[in-house]
Amino acid sequence: MDKYDLCVIGGGPSGYATAMRAIDLGKSVCLVEKNKIGGAGIYDGALTSKTMWEFSKKVQAARRSFEKREMLQSFDVSWQEVQNVVDRAIFDRKQQLSTHLKILQKEASEKLFVHERGFAKLLNNHEILIESSKKEVKTIWADKIAIATGSVPRKLPSIPIDEKIILTSDGISKLEDYPKSLVVLGAGVIGCEFATIFSNFGITKVNVIDRADRILPFEDEDIATMVTQNLEKNGVTVHKNSRLVRMEIIDGEVEYELSYSNGDPNEVIRVEKALISIGRVPNVKNIGLEELGIKFTDRGIVENNDGQTSVDNIFVVGDASGHAALVNVGEVEGRHAAKKMFGVKTKLLRYDYISTIMFLNPEVAGVGMNEQQVREKGIPYRLVKINYSLIARAIAMRQTEGFFKIIVTDDDKMKVLGMRAVGEHASSAIQTVALLMLKDVSITVLADLVHPHPSIIEGIQEAVRMLMGISTYKASVFKDQVQCYKCVDGVCTPLREY
């Protein structure tokens, strides 16, 4: 029986990161993956949808350029062209990872690293049964085990999902053409991203079912309002305050019925396709965890303490850990778990400074708490919000829709509680502020930093100066483009009077 210091079950972003970090520590590793290395980080997930989003933006920009010039022909691209762009991106990333693994496995001495293709199941807390696609079976022994089996789209038993007419995100790659019409069930991040993508291409009529009074209910209202307005400008219909009564396939199409909380009569609508986007569930069943007595939460999450399960030598990372199902979160958890399981001194993993991005129109990035979360916690705070229309780079790009919103503690230290960036380059802009949160440093250090000009991040510096009362632009003059106030016990007042 082959023996290893670590067996990682799952070769997605979190499992891959766990294995590589353990190798850094000189440990022998067996990485088991039943399907494709890279997981949802590459296939039917982050890379796929974001490549599609980037391409849809270019198509939309070209089409609008044609329309402005009143050209006789509109600018369209075929679905096959879209798929070709996505396939090339997948191939590039897949080639990087597979080549890396092959060379690493070949060069590794004394079986420092082995990649096994197959389905893994725990026989006990050290032995793992691996069954290959050819039904070949072997058992290995590992001192430590990391569960990195990812997640799958959540389904509802009342909806006949066939991945052809009614799809989850896994079925998007199977489409043969643009749907003429599409309904998206779920107004969270993924649902809104795909609504943005398909509406950008300008061929599909998109509807979104939202049971709340606004999309993205976990974000501040100003962000949700801007995203909604742009979706509607793209022709998207958002069914607000609606409840899905039924959804079924009739004559090869989707028929769905909605009821409304405001008392409006029920509505029955026919579309060509439906996308079910109501979250994801951990892929942790039937791999032997229950037999070992490892407990699960009501949401199917593996109970754990900083990644460590109730069985001391078994760790869980990535989507099954119960935190945000994001590639960057999974990678951080994997690297952290590798250090912790092999005795490297490390602090508890923090999630309050992890950056996120939503690929919408416009792009939305964030770190830390938003304003509604700070208010719910009853924390006194100071806030500055500056529109892109005051930033030279945004003006030069002709992309002035967006804003920076920074929230800090209501004291002289002004440490960052959170930030939201909405607009072009949003994901790059938040990183400096995220670093300040990680290092527990006052945001005032940015006031004197010489930023490149013209750049979007100059807007952050101007926002900080507004908090300090030393800004170039005065909030009292640009009232429609700047907000700067403090809130204590639910009462908000202007922070500075110029």
Distance (Å) of CA 318 to CA 147, 148, 213, 451? 8, 6, 31, 36
- For residue 38, what pLDDT band results from cuts at 50, 70 and 90? very high
Fold match, 3-42+86-152+281-341 / 166-278: yes
- For residue 32, what pLDDT band results from cuts at 50, 70 and 90? very high
- For residue 110, what pLDDT band results from cuts at 50, 70 and 90? low
For the stretch 440-453, pLDDT in tens is 999 999 988 888 99
CA dihedral angle for residue 240, residue 245, residue 249, residue 251, rounded to 10 degrees: -90
pLDDT at 324 over 70: yes
Mean pLDDT of 93-121: 86
Whole-angstrom distance, CA of residue 8 vs CA of residue 465: 48
Mean pLDDT of 75-93: 93
For the stretch 279-312, pLDDT in tens is 999 999 889 999 999 988 887 788 899 999 999 9
DSSP 118: S
Cβ-contact 224, 199 below 8 angstroms: no
Instruction: Match 């509807």 to its residue by tokens.
Output: 207
Q: Report the mean per-residue pLDDT for the chain.
A: 92
Give the per-residue pLDDT at 71: 56
- For residue 70, what pLDDT band results from cuts at 50, 70 and 90? low
Give the per-residue pLDDT at 73: 61
**Domain 3-42+86-152+281-341 in this protein, CATH class:** alpha beta
- For residue 498, what pLDDT band results from cuts at 50, 70 and 90? very low
pLDDT at 56 over 60: yes
**pTM higher than 0.85, yes or no?**
yes
**Domain 362-494 in this protein, CATH class:** alpha beta
Amino acid at 441: V
Q: What percent of the chain has pLDDT over 70?
A: 97
pLDDT at 69 over 80: no
Residue among 26, 14, 321, 138 nearest 6 (CA): 26
Residue among 383, 387, 381, 371 nearest 473 (CA): 387
For the stretch 185-215, pLDDT in tens is 999 999 999 999 999 999 999 999 999 889 9
- For residue 83, what pLDDT band results from cuts at 50, 70 and 90? very high
Task: List the domain boundaries for the chain.
Answer: 3-42+86-152+281-341, 166-278, 362-494
**Domain 166-278 in this protein, CATH class:** alpha beta
pLDDT at 333 over 90: yes
Give the per-residue pLDDT at 479: 83
Query: Nearest 5°: phi and psi at 93?
Result: -70, -40
CA dihedral angle for residue 434, residue 439, residue 442, residue 444, rounded to 10 degrees: -60
Mean pLDDT of 82-86: 97
Mean pLDDT of 448-474: 90
Cβ-contact 294, 303 below 8 angstroms: yes
Mean pLDDT of 303-328: 92
Give the per-residue pLDDT at 394: 94
Mean pLDDT of 341-359: 91
pLDDT at 103 over 90: no
Whole-angstrom distance, CA of residue 408 vs CA of residue 485: 11
For the stretch 150-173, pLDDT in tens is 999 999 999 999 999 999 999 999
Residue-by-residue DSSP string for 349-383: PP-TT--EEE-SSS-EEEEE--HHHHHHTT--EEE
